Amino acid sequence: MRSVSGSGERLLAILGLFSEETSEWTPEDMMQELGFSRPTLYRYLKTLKDAGYLVSLPQAGYTLGPRVTELDFLMRRSDPLIKIADPHLDVLAATFVGSAFIVRFYDQKMLCVASRVSAPEPRSSYPRGRPMPIGKGAVSRAIVAFLPPKDRAALVSDFLDAFVTSGIGSTKDAVLTELKRIRRNRVATARGEVTPGLVGVAAPILAGDGTPIGALCLSTEETTLTKDQLAALRDAIRDHAEAISDALTLPSARASA
């Protein structure tokens, strides 16, 4: 049972129930999960339904509504990160065969928000909007490596098993040492950790204070990538990520953020 108070928190708690694993909820299950009384729950469900955030299913429960799709459309049009990153994604996809994409980081979640694909038969386990795993893959390491030291150590502790199974260290200290190396190099590489057979190369996208807001990544088939191509890809990802970070610090970008 979750502990929430205040109307805003209750509304967000209801929306926060929906996930890839549980995309439909009955009122009974909601009450059990959240601890809301029936009158309280139905009052908030009506508010969310009237606003289009939820739709009710006959003889079933509730699922997310069309307002979520509308907000997604508006986010694509207004997010300064997407606007700034778009031409960089075009260049990367034209230069390297694979999938170039931008990831946003928030609340211990990493989501692809924009991508360009140049592979004839692209493969991805995490399309736009599906949360990516923390502890596995180049994106995760590129982001976590640039968190403040206390936050970095706490996140590694929380997801230590995932970091260890990814092969970058067998202990917390070893993982943190590898993340420091990635921080110095400003680019991370992973082979087959998220999608078997794919190499991912990622670099952080940083706010003006140096904290990560996301990452730039390109994934490509490992069997077609030579050593020289990998080196060129690492340089390109790092350079484009730094250019995006620099552009985001301009006054015009900050005003629209």
- pLDDT above 70 covers a percentage of the chain that reads 94
In this prediction, residues 30-58 reach a mean pLDDT of 94
Q: How confident is the model at residue 249 (pLDDT cuts 50, 70, 90)?
A: confident
Euclidean distance between CA atoms 249 and 2, whole angstroms: 38
Per-residue pLDDT, 193: 86
Average pLDDT, the chain: 90
Q: How confident is the model at residue 25 (pLDDT cuts 50, 70, 90)?
A: very high
Closest CA to 193 of 138, 234, 130, 152: 138
Provide the strand spans (E) within the chain.
Answer: 54-56, 62-64, 99-106, 109-117, 188-191, 198-206, 212-221
Backbone angles phi, psi at 225, to 5 degrees: -105, 115
pTM here?
Answer: 0.84
Per-residue pLDDT, 240: 98
- pLDDT above 90 covers a percentage of the chain that reads 75
- Least confident piece of the model among 79-83, 239-243, 246-250: 246-250
Euclidean distance between CA atoms 198 and 194, whole angstroms: 8
Q: How confident is the model at residue 40 (pLDDT cuts 50, 70, 90)?
A: very high
Per-residue pLDDT, 21: 87
Coil, helix or strand for 235?
A: helix
pLDDT tens digits for 116-141? 998 777 777 677 888 888 999 999 99
Q: Residue 216: is it exposed, middle or buried by C-beta count within 10 angstroms (0-12/13-18/19+)?
A: buried
pLDDT tens digits for 215-237? 999 999 998 889 999 999 999 99
Per-residue pLDDT, 121: 76
Per-residue pLDDT, 196: 85
pLDDT tens digits for 78-100? 999 999 999 999 999 999 999 99
In this prediction, residues 26-49 reach a mean pLDDT of 94
Q: Is the pLDDT of residue 111 over 60?
A: yes
Q: Is the pLDDT of residue 60 over 90?
A: no
